[in-house]
């Protein structure tokens, strides 16, 4: 069966109310007919229902659909993408362990390693996101986990995930992958050797900028139980309403991503020609440093890309971005509305310092007509005046 079909068919059986959608049961307490079943309720923890915190029909149905799309056997829905990252770290790492994290990782994940895992006695090494097989020299006897994030947040480095997972497995380490950018439609991390696939469902899958959820998918029952246990110790529960909305988002995921990618290729292509733009970072564009790996490993993309602008004074960005008519200034991405987010990357990297001199902007292309977006951007760039622009035109 194709993913497009899988997106529309959830596993819902709520006899006799048979619907195409999964029912939303709001409940903390579940009730039991016998003392014996009540006392044995914990045996239902991994599969059945025992208490609202541990799962309900909407979370289980969404988890099943995500597991299938990721090519795994088991998924867990958690309150956010960041919770997905942290529950994996807390389930798989112990004091004294070492973890390898890509240098261009999602910034809050770096902060969690530096500010939280370190206090637990877990050591992190941030490795060059483009290391590929070269990562082998960074393993220690205590390395238990390697993260990949591909393409990377903001700067879109595409990682050689098969090479990195092979090196990790040679050294007895597990690999966790955050491949939210392409969604499972564009990249199934488990099929490329990862042991754990994380998604920020808040982005493309929810797709409407109106909820926060994350998922963790594996293809191994023991690993699933370790992660599910950690989520229980942390008390991570999810709202059935949010799960319902995320599942509704799945139904249009393929259509949205297709349209957003098509528009993004068009918008990014125009920006690449603009004298204020130094570089466009978007793996689907031929000429992008990650294009060859992207063609090899990915079956799709999304409408999220970044540009490095020609340097200018500190005050040049505000008139550009604050007066946009369609692009709104905001974090996150993957919704219906186009967004732009500026970043300061000086000092953000430790393995390979960021070299770009100008500001970096990340765009999330929404469902507006691409020509309107291009008009908005070209007008914005008129307000952005790098000092050397006159010479370069």
Ligand X SMILES: *Cc1c(COP(=O)(O)O)cnc(C)c1O
Member of 3, 70, 103, 178 binding ligand X (CB under 6 A): 178
Q: 106 or 354, CB closer to ligand X?
A: 106
Using CB under 6 A as the criterion, what x/- string covers residues 327-346 for binding ligand X? -----x--------------
Which residue's structure tokens are 């990721």?
Answer: 70
Q: How many C-beta neighbours within 10 Å does residue 20 have?
A: 9
Per CB under 6 A, 240 contacts ligand X: no
Selected from 59, 89, 129, 202, the binder of ligand X by CB under 6 A is 202
Size of the site for ligand X (CB under 6 A): 14
200 binds ligand X (CB under 6 A): yes
**Residue 201 to residue 251: CA distance in whole angstroms:** 13
Q: Which residue has the tokens 């528009």?
A: 263
Closer residue to ligand X, CB minimum distance, 108 or 162: 108
Tell me how far CA of residue 16 lies from CA of 12, 19, 23, 155, 322, in angstroms.
Answer: 11, 9, 12, 50, 53
Length of the chain, in residues: 393
Query: Of 212, 230, 238, 285, which lies in the binding site for ligand X, with binding defined by CB under 6 A?
Result: 212
Q: Residue 160: what are its φ and ψ, rounded to 5°?
A: -85, 80
Task: Classify each residue of 344-371 as buried b or exposed e, where b means 16 or more C-beta atoms within 10 Å of its C-beta.
Answer: ebeebbebeebebebbbbbbbbbbeebe
Contact window for ligand X (CB under 6 A) among 75-83, 129-137, 358-366, 371-379: 75-83
Kindly write out the interface string for residues 105-124 of this chain, putting x where it contacts ligand X by CB under 6 A and - elsewhere: -x------------------
**Cα→Cα distances 21→12, 155, 168, 249, Å:** 7, 38, 40, 12
How far, in Å, CA of 276 to CA of 373, rounded? 17
Minimum CB distance to ligand X, residue 83 (Å):
7
Phi, psi of 66 (to 5 degrees): -65, -45
Q: Which of 61, 124, 165, 180 binds ligand X (CB under 6 A)?
A: 180
Site string for ligand X, 140-159 (x = CB under 6 A): ---------x---x------
SS3 174: strand
Question: Least distance (Å) from ligand X to the CB of residue 178?
Answer: 5
Q: How far is the CB of 81 from ligand X (least distance, A)?
A: 2
Nearer to ligand X, 332 or 350 (CB): 332
CB 155 within 8 A of CB 281: yes
Q: Quick one: which segment of 121-129, 138-146, 198-206, 313-321 binds ligand X (CB under 6 A)?
A: 198-206
Copy the structure tokens of residue 177: 């992958």
What is the contact surface with ligand X in residues (CB under 6 A)?
A: 80-82, 106, 149, 153, 178, 180, 200, 202-203, 212, 214, 332
């Amino acid at each position: 069966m194709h993913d497009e079909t899988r997106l529309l068919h959830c596993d819902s059986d709520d006899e006799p109310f048979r619907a195409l959608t999964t029912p939303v049961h709001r409940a903390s307490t579940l009730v039991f007919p016998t003392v014996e079943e009540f006392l044995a309720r914990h045996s239902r923890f991994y599969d059945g229902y025992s208490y609202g915190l541990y799962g309900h029909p909407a979370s289980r149905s969404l988890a099943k659909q995500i597991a299938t799309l990721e090519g795994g056997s088991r998924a867990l829905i958690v309150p956010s993408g960041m919770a997905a990252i942290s529950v994996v770290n807390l389930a798989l790492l112990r004091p004294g362990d070492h973890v390898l994290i890509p240098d261009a990782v999602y910034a809050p994940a770096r902060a969690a390693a530096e500010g939280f895992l370190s206090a637990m006695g877990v050591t992190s090494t941030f490795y060059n996101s483009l290391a590929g097989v070269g990562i082998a020299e960074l393993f220690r006897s205590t390395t238990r986990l390697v993260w990949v994030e591909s393409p990377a947040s903001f700067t879109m480095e595409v990682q050689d995930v098969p090479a990195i997972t092979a090196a990790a497995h040679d050294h007895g380490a597990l690999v966790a992958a955050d491949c939210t950018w392409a969604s499972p439609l564009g990249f199934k991390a488990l099929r490329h050797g990862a042991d754990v696939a994380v998604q920020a469902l808040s982005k493309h899958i929810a797709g409407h900028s109106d909820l926060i959820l994350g998922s963790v998918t594996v293809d191994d029952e023991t690993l699933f139980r370790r992660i599910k246990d950690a989520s229980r110790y942390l008390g991570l529960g999810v709202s059935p309403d949010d799960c319902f909305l995320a599942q509704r988002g799945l139904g249009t995921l393929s259509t949205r991503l297709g349209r957003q990618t098509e528009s993004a290729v068009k918008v990014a292509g125009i920006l690449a020609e603009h004298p204020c733009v130094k570089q466009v970072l978007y793996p689907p564009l031929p000429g992008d440093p990650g294009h060859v790996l992207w063609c090899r490993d990915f079956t799709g993309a999304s409408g999220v890309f970044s540009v490095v602008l020609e340097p200018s004074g500190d005050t040049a960005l505000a008139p550009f971005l604050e007066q946009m008519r369609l692009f709104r200034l905001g974090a996150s991405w993957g919704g219906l509305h186009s967004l732009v987010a500026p970043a300061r990357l000086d000092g953000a990297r430790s393995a390979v310092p960021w070299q770009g001199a100008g500001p970096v902007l990340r765009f999330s292309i929404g469902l507006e007509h691409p020509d309107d977006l291009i008009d908005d951007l070209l007008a914005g760039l008129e307000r952005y005046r790098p000092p050397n622009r006159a010479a370069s035109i």
